[in-house]
Amino acid sequence: MFATLTHRLFDFVLGRRSRLPVNYLWSARNTLKVFLLAGLILFAATFIVQIVSSIILSWLHIVSNEYALHLPLKELEASGFITSVTLLVSFVFGFGEVTYYLCYELRQTGQNVLDILALNFKASARKTKLGTVWAIIWRPIAAYIFFLGGAILIGLAFDVPEQDTIETAKNLRGVAFLIFSLSAIIAAPIFEEIVFRGFLFNALRGNFRLGKIGQLFGKTIADYSAIVLSAIIFALGHMQFQLVTIVLLFFMGCLLAEVYRRSGSLYCAIILHAINNGLTSLTVYLGQ
C-alpha cells in the first residue's frame, strides 16, 4: 500500500515514466568493496589536507613573526577565510580522488563512463534546445517544491536542529562566505551526485533488479529498495546524527535518486541538489 501510494505521488510530481537504463551490473559484494574503499580514500584525502593546511598555517605564523612581515593571518582566521578555503580544498581533493577512483572502476566495464552515469542529455533530448533545457530543469524544480512542503511540515511538528555546516557558515563573512557558498552550490552537488546516485544507486538498482527482490516483487520495488538504501547511506554519510536532520537528509536523498531515475539524467539530480544548497546559503546570508 505504502509503495503504491509513493509511486503514484511521484508519478504526479515527477512524471510517470522512468528513463534511466540499467547501465552496469555489479554484485553486492563488489559494490560494497568499491564503496568502502572509496570511503577510506575520502577520509585519507581529507585528513591529509587538514594536516597539510595546519603545517602551512603554522609555518606562515613563524615566518611572519620572524621576518616581521605582518601577514594578516589573525584577521583571515577571524573572518573564517582560512576555514572556508580549507573546507573547499578538503572537499574537492577528497571527493575528487573518490570520483577518479570510481570512474576508474567503471571504465573496467568497457563502457563510456558518462553513459554509465547518465551524465548527458540523451534521455531528456527534445527537438529544440529550449525543450531540452526545460526537460532538464522542470523535475528538479517540482521535486524541490515537494521537498520544501515536507520540510515545512516537519519543521512545524518538530524542533529541527541546524547542521554543523550551517553553523559554520553563519560565522563566515565576505569572501569566506562566498567561497563556502560556491563549494556548497557547485562542488558538493557534482561530486556527491556522482558518488551517491551515479555510482551507488545505480549499482544497487541493477543488483536488486536481478536479485531476489526483483524476482519476487518486480522491478519497481527493486528500484525503490535501491532508492531507500542509497538515501539511508547518503543521510548517514553527512555525519549529522540528530533524528530529524537524518529524516530530512533521507527524504532529500530519496528525491534526488527518484529525479535521477525518472529523468534519466544525472544533471537533474545535480540541479536539484544545487537548488537546495543555494537556497540554504541564501537563507544563511540573509540571516546574518
pLDDT in tens, 14-26: 666 677 877 767 7
Q: What is the CA radius of gyration of the chain?
A: 21
CA dist 108 and 244 (Å) reads 40
What does the block give as the cell for 200?
A: 551507488
CB contact at 8 A, 123 and 263: yes
DSSP code at position 163: P
What does the block give as the cell for 140?
A: 528538479
CA dist 193 and 175 (Å) reads 26
| Residues 123-138: tens digit of each pLDDT | 777 777 887 888 888 8
If pLDDT is split at 50, 70 and 90, which confidence band does 149 have? confident
DSSP code at position 264: S
pLDDT of residue 4: 65
Asked if the model's pLDDT at residue 113 lies above 60, the reply is yes
| Residues 222-260: tens digit of each pLDDT | 999 999 999 999 998 887 778 888 888 999 999 999 999
pLDDT of residue 154: 78
pLDDT of residue 142: 87
If pLDDT is split at 50, 70 and 90, which confidence band does 5 have? low
pLDDT of residue 268: 93
Asked if the model's pLDDT at residue 94 lies above 60, the reply is yes
Instruction: Tell me the mean pLDDT in the region 259-280.
Output: 93
Asked if the model's pLDDT at residue 70 lies above 70, the reply is yes
DSSP 97-162: HHHHHHHHHHHTTTS-HHHHHT-SSTTT--SSHHHHHHHHHHHHHHHHHHHHHHHHHHHHHS--PP
CA dist 48 and 41 (Å) reads 10
With CA atoms as reference, report the closest residue to 287 among 147, 172, 144, 159. Answer: 172
CA dist 194 and 140 (Å) reads 16
CA dist 58 and 63 (Å) reads 9
Total Cβ atoms within 10 A of residue 118 = 26
* Count, residues in the chain: 288
Name the pTM for this structure: 0.89
CB contact at 8 A, 209 and 219: yes
Total Cβ atoms within 10 A of residue 104 = 11
CB contact at 8 A, 224 and 4: no
If pLDDT is split at 50, 70 and 90, which confidence band does 269 have? very high
| Residues 158-170: tens digit of each pLDDT | 776 777 777 777 8
C-alpha of 91 from chain center: 12
CA dist 14 and 12 (Å) reads 6
Higher per-residue confidence, 236 vs 13: 236
